[in-house]
Chain A
Amino acid sequence: MRKELVIALRVTAVTLVLTGLVYPLVTTGLAQVLFPWRADGSFVKDERGRVVGSELLGQGFATPSYFHPRPSAAGKDGWDATSSSGTNLGPTSKKLRDSASDALRKLAAENPDAREPVPVELVTSSGSGLDPHLSPPAALWQVPRVARARRVSEERVRALVESLTERRDLLVLGEPRVNVLTLNLALDRQFGAPRPGGPSATRGP
Chain B
Amino acid sequence: MTLAAWGQLALFIALVLLTTKPLGAFMHRVFETDRRPLPRVLGPLERFLFRLSGVDPSQEQTWVRYTGSLLIFSLFSLLVTYAILRLQHLLPLNPQKFGAVDPALAFNTSASFTTNTNWQAYTGEATMSYLSQMAGLAWHNFISAAAGIAVAIALARGLTRRRPPDAPRTLGNFWADVIRSTVYVLLPLSLVFGLVLVSQGVIQNLSAYREVTTVEGAKQVVALGPVASQEAIKELGTNGGGFFNVNSAHPFENPSPFTNLVELWLIFAIPAGLTYTYGRMARDSRQGWAILAAMAVLFLGGALVAHWAEAKPNQGLASLVLDHRAGNMEGKEVRFGTAASALFATVTTDASCGAVNSMHDSFNPLGGLVPLVNIQLGEVIFGGVGAGLYGMLIFVVLSVFIAGLMVGRTPEYLGKKIESREMKLAMLYVLIFPLIILGFTAWASVTQWGTSSLNNAGPHGLSEILYAFTSGTGNNGSAFAGLNANTPWYTTLLGLAMLTGRFLMIIPALGIAGSMVGKKVVPPGPGTFPTNGPLFTFLLVSVVLIVGALTFFPALSLGPIVEHFAGLAGKVY
Contact = CB atoms under 8 A, between A and B. Distances in A.
Interface of A: 4-16, 18-21, 23-24, 26-28, 30-32, 34-35, 38-43, 46, 50-54, 56-63, 66, 70, 79-94, 96-97, 100-101, 104, 116-121, 123-135, 137-138, 168-175, 177, 181, 184-185, 188
A52 B340 contact: no
A10 B251 contact: no
24 contacts: A4-B68, A9-B76, A23-B190, A23-B191, A23-B229, A41-B210, A54-B252, A57-B222, A57-B251, A82-B126, A83-B125, A84-B245, A86-B331, A88-B361, A88-B481, A90-B368, A91-B567, A100-B322, A117-B323, A118-B322, A124-B317, A128-B333, A174-B336, A185-B215
A57 B252 contact: yes
Interface in B257-306: 257-258, 260-261
B307 interface: no
A35 B205 CA distance: 11
B151 to A, nearest CB: 16
A92 B566 contact: yes
A40 B364 CA distance: 37
A137 B337 CA distance: 13
Nearest to A100: B317
B226 A24 contact: yes
Contacts of B224: 40-41
Contacts of A28: 204-206, 226, 229
7 A-B pairs with the lowest CB-CB distances in the bound complex, closest first: A174-B257, A172-B7, A88-B482, A20-B139, A127-B249, A20-B135, A175-B337
B563 A59 contact: no
Interface in B52-88: 52-55, 65, 68-69, 72-73, 76-77, 80
Contact of B359 (A50, A86, A133, A138): A86
A132 B251 contact: yes
B323 A126 contact: no
B386 interface: no
Interface string B303-321: 0000000000111110011
B573 A31 contact: no
Interface in B537-565: 563
A82 to B, nearest CB: 5
Contact of B331 (A9, A58, A88, A117): A88
Nearest to A196: B217
Given A7-B55, A82-B209, 13 more contacts: A8-B76, A23-B142, A31-B204, A35-B195, A81-B223, A88-B480, A92-B563, A94-B573, A121-B329, A127-B331, A168-B257, A172-B11, A184-B215
B335 interface: yes
Contacts of A84: 123, 125, 223, 244-246, 249-250
Nearest to B214: A59
B138 A19 contact: yes
Interface stretch (B35-43, B174-182, B488-496): B174-182
A196 to B, nearest CB: 8
Given A124-B329, A133-B335, A16 B195 contact: no
Nearest to B217: A196
Contacts of A129: 246
B121 to A, nearest CB: 14
A133 B68 CA distance: 51
B55 A11 contact: yes
Contact of A12 (B80, B332, B359): B80
A127 B359 contact: yes
B222 A54 contact: yes
Between B143, B364, B480, B572, the greatest number of chain A beta carbons within 10 A of the residue's beta carbon is seen for B572
Nearest to A88: B482
Between A12, A41, A79, the greatest number of chain B beta carbons within 10 A of the residue's beta carbon is seen for A41
A61 B328 contact: no
B199 interface: yes
B571 A43 contact: no
A97 B563 CA distance: 15
Nearest to A108: B321
Nearest to A135: B334
Given A10-B54, A19-B142, A41-B222, A104 B460 contact: no
Contacts of B255: 56
B215 A31 contact: no
Contacts of B142: 15, 19-20, 23
A172 B314 contact: no
B48 to A, nearest CB: 9
A8 to B, nearest CB: 4
A170 B205 CA distance: 29
A17 to B, nearest CB: 9
A119 B323 CA distance: 4
Contacts of A94: 457, 572-573
B515 interface: no
B303 to A, nearest CB: 15
A12 to B, nearest CB: 5
B246 to A, nearest CB: 4
Contacts of A56: 201, 251-252, 255
B322 A24 contact: no
A93 B162 CA distance: 58
Contacts of B187: 18-19, 23
A126 B214 contact: no
A92 B212 contact: no
B220 A27 contact: no
B216 interface: yes
B313 A120 contact: yes
A175 B229 contact: no
A96 B317 CA distance: 8
B323 A39 contact: no
B244 A89 contact: no
B532 interface: no
Contacts of A126: 249, 329, 331-334
Nearest to B4: A172
B164 to A, nearest CB: 28
B359 A81 contact: no
A38 B224 CA distance: 12
A90 B456 contact: yes
Given A83-B123, A125-B330, A97 B572 contact: yes
